[in-house]
Structure 1
Amino acid sequence: MSEKFVVIATDKMSLSGLVALTEDDRFEILVPDGEEEMREALGRAHGLIVRSATKVTRELLEQAPNLRVVGRAGVGVDNIDLGVATEFGIPVINAPEGNTVSAAELAMALILTVARNISWADASVQGGAWARSQFSGIEIRGKTLGLVGAGRIGAEVALRAQAFGMETIAHDPYLTEERAKELRIERVELGDVIARGDVISLHVPLTPQTEGMIGEAELKAMKSTAILVNTARGGVVDEGALIAALKSGEIAAAALDVYETEPLPEDSPLRGVQNLVLTPHLGASTAEAQELVSNEIALGVSAALLEGDLSKALNAPAIGGEELEFLRPLMDLAHKVGRVAGALGRGGMRKADISVAGLDDEILSPLTAAAMTGVLTPVLGARNVNYVNALHLATGRG
């Protein structure tokens, strides 16, 4: 294209990490200051990069008629309405790898802080006391670390905990036996992690399945000496149940970096609980992590806009790289066949059956999306249906 792709960078993002975009003449980077500049920028934008502060809502997307991709510089997409983005046909990508080490190091820092009473001892000394006997802690050597989630971050936490001499067990339905052996982690059920863990560390996304997964029953099943650490997502832990468990002595202590509501309200009952350490969502708050996630998301946005690479898309069949090059002619063909079918059945089509033979099952999803794009184009128009929203629109039409 002759004109440049316009990409908005929000949330005080460092441009030094966006070199894949800033040093490419095919892109124009906008850093809007204030609501008025943001509205003007959205009217031109092809790409939008956010951290956690900007809320990508229906109202925002309605102001961005040319938007082709939303990039989240980080892992969680709680601030992005994926359903609405899909409805608008806008792929959402994230940067899941850049903050891995920073998040793992924070988890270990919180484990050690609680085990050795560091934050409480510091507050005591800063207040003028010298009460050594009040802050006797525990060694983590020989203790069992129970991981809930053993993906990138959980695996890095396990590696560091093992260096301290901890035994590591984990519940993760996606953890294979081969990978567990490689990580020297024992695969167990969630109930075993809860019952056996001296330290229980959470590393799962917030989904309908994980919301409130650590509640009253799970806390009652923990050891009375257990330490609970959550650097994953607020909402995974039932905060009311946690407060009750800490005050009653059902568990020894906890540390939270994430909350159901962020920023944490000033009147939150979590504040002031004596055996609870609180930090303000610092998982990715290192200079290194911010540079890495910025670079990762810049590369992802560039690939999406220049090549149509959606291998990092969270709301569309993920294809990119060599697989995209292989599939592109097949997807073009599927789109054309679908368009012919849509034209022939216009006005009376109730169902579309899509069959593929002689190809791997994993490419059925992208070919189905391409074919359905063709089917719906005569009905909805080319501007209103694409690879991202075709299946969503088809489902919505029955």
Structure 2
Amino acid sequence: MKVHILDDWFDTLRGLPCFELLKGHDVTVWTDHEECEAALADRLQNADCLVLFRERTKVTRSLLRQLPNLRLISQRGAYPHVDVPACTEQGVLFCSTKGGDGANYAAAELTFALILAAMRQLPQQMASVKTGAWQMGVGRSLRGRRLGLYGYGRIGRVVADYARAFGMDVVWWASEAGGARAVADGETVAVSRASFFADSDVVSLHLRLTPETQGTITTTDLAAMSPRAVLINTSRAGLIAEGALLQALNAGRPGTAAVDVFASEPLTNAADPLLSHPRLIATPHIGFVTEDEFDRQFADIFAQVNAYAQGAPIHMVNPSVFAP
């Protein structure tokens, strides 16, 4: 099959073990991002299969209508960027998996790195010493402080293990079902939502973005946080109500936020009010951006391509399209 891989910005995949899974296919790797839909369609005219790199390119009805040869789209994870009904209308099979039982350790590691960066003022201290000013302030230790984890999932549980290794006290808030699982596992769930936000030195969000969780973190939640508290978000920006984080930082509650995700990505406007806020630590959505995580994720994606080529597709989102 003619397989086109989109948005591999640093040309990483060809050097990973998983790429061997595509041996025998005619593979084209695009290492830039084409924003113009017409130009993108022109690139992909001969594609039988598209491999998507997370949510970097939107697959719209109008794009699909310009790709008469396309038969398969393969990716991993959630798919708010893919028009699945349009795929079905155009006869394109869409395959996506959430992966196996393992946690995304790369995302968990970045989460904890941001906790350390915020509490120890690492970006500010590094900027200060680079200018010859030496120290710029006094950070805080993690031992004995409280980490509040919102969402009882796999990544959150890994972060909890890291936190306990640093001597932190861990509390949880989650859905009713998630809270029940936490209690059954012997974890501590906050007595109330208000106390969870008010009493945590660090709050880290670990929820999937769904219609139900969109905007679930409100201005009231953030206003309850201490002026010395830190908010961490390596999940999705949409979990926080629109405009609420900027409003909260301007009000000084929480005192600091460290985020890896933004409402509009890539965010390249250095003057953006949130990105440029002096109490915001930011990374450019790199929670999953490690060679190890890419190899794990794309092994699943490429396995879907091979399964389709062998006439036995897996992880079909719109199975009505496939006629064996």
| TM-score normalised over the length of structure 1 | 0.68
- Give me the CA root mean square deviation: 3.0
SS class of match (1:109): helix
Distance of aligned partners of 1:32 and 1:120 in 2 relative to their CA distance in 1, 3 Å threshold: closer
Give the Å deviation of 1:162. Answer: 1.6
Q: What one-letter code is carried by the residue in structure 2 that aligns with 1:19?
A: F
Larger Rg: 1
Higher relative contact order (CA 8 A, sep 6+): 2
Distance of aligned partners of 1:176 and 1:219 in 2 relative to their CA distance in 1, 3 Å threshold: closer
Q: What one-letter code is carried by the residue in structure 1 that aligns with 2:164?
A: Q
Deviation by residue 1:68-112 (Cα, 9 ceiling, x = unmatched): 332235x34343233433444532414556881111100000001
Distance of aligned partners of 1:257 and 1:32 in 2 relative to their CA distance in 1, 3 Å threshold: closer
Question: Aligned match of 2:130 in 107, 126, 135?
Answer: 126
Deviation by residue 1:237-286 (Cα, 9 ceiling, x = unmatched): 24632223223222221101100111223331013322210111111122
Judge conservation of contact 2:149–2:204 (CA < 8 Å) in 1. Answer: yes
- Structure 1 residues 37-46 or 105-114, which shifts more? 37-46
Q: Distance in 2 between matches of 1:260 and 1:20?
A: 35
Judge conservation of contact 1:146–1:169 (CA < 8 Å) in 2. Answer: yes
Large movers: runs of 4+ above 6 Å: 33-37
Judge conservation of contact 1:7–1:28 (CA < 8 Å) in 2. Answer: yes
Judge conservation of contact 1:255–1:278 (CA < 8 Å) in 2. Answer: yes
Give the Å deviation of 1:206. Answer: 2.2
**What does 1:60-139 align with in structure 2 at a 5 Å threshold?**
60-72=63-75, 75-89=77-91, 90-94=93-97, 96=99, 100-131=104-135, 134-139=136-141
Deviation by residue 1:134-191 (Cα, 9 ceiling, x = unmatched): 5212222222221122222222211211211222222333537456654x53345644
SS class of match (2:74): strand
Deviation by residue 1:275-331 (Cα, 9 ceiling, x = unmatched): 2101111111222222222222111332244243433x4x347xxxxxxxxxxxxxx
Q: Distance in 2 between matches of 1:278 and 1:33?
A: 24
- Equivalent in the alignment of 2:27: 29
Judge conservation of contact 1:232–1:258 (CA < 8 Å) in 2. Answer: yes
Q: Distance in 2 between matches of 1:138 and 1:211?
A: 32
Higher helix share: 1
SS class of match (1:291): helix
Structure 2 residue 286 is matched with structure 1 residue 282: yes
Distance of aligned partners of 1:227 and 1:33 in 2 relative to their CA distance in 1, 3 Å threshold: closer
User: Is there any run of 5+ residues in structure 1 with no aligned partner, and where?
Assistant: 318-372, 374-384, 388-398
Structure 2 residue 244 is matched with structure 1 residue 227: no
SS class of match (1:19): helix
Distance of aligned partners of 1:96 and 1:204 in 2 relative to their CA distance in 1, 3 Å threshold: farther
SS class of match (2:44): helix
**What does 1:1-398 align with in structure 2 at a 5 Å threshold?**
5-12=1-8, 14-17=13-16, 18-19=18-19, 21-23=21-23, 25=24, 27-31=25-29, 39=41, 42-51=44-53, 52-72=55-75, 75-89=77-91, 90-94=93-97, 96=99, 100-131=104-135, 134-173=136-175, 174-175=177-178, 177=180, 181-182=184-185, 185-188=187-190, 190-238=193-241, 240-264=243-267, 265-311=269-315, 313=316, 315-316=317-318
SS class of match (1:135): coil
Judge conservation of contact 1:72–1:95 (CA < 8 Å) in 2. Answer: no
Deviation by residue 1:181-203 (Cα, 9 ceiling, x = unmatched): 54x53345644532332211112
Judge conservation of contact 1:69–1:305 (CA < 8 Å) in 2. Answer: no
Judge conservation of contact 1:20–1:302 (CA < 8 Å) in 2. Answer: no
User: Is there any run of 5+ residues in structure 2 with no aligned partner, and where?
Assistant: none
Q: Distance in 2 between matches of 1:190 and 1:293?
A: 34
Q: Distance in 2 between matches of 1:42 and 1:70?
A: 12
Distance of aligned partners of 1:253 and 1:91 in 2 relative to their CA distance in 1, 3 Å threshold: same
- Equivalent in the alignment of 1:340: none
Give the Å deviation of 1:47. Answer: 2.0
Q: What one-letter code is carried by the residue in structure 2 that aligns with 1:228?
A: L
Q: Distance in 1 between matches of 2:292 and 2:50?
A: 22
Q: Distance in 2 between matches of 1:186 and 1:305?
A: 48
Q: Distance in 1 between matches of 2:40 and 2:259?
A: 33
Identity between Structure 1 and Structure 2 (%): 34
| TM-score normalised over the length of structure 2 | 0.82
* Alignment: residue pair count: 309
- Equivalent in the alignment of 1:334: none
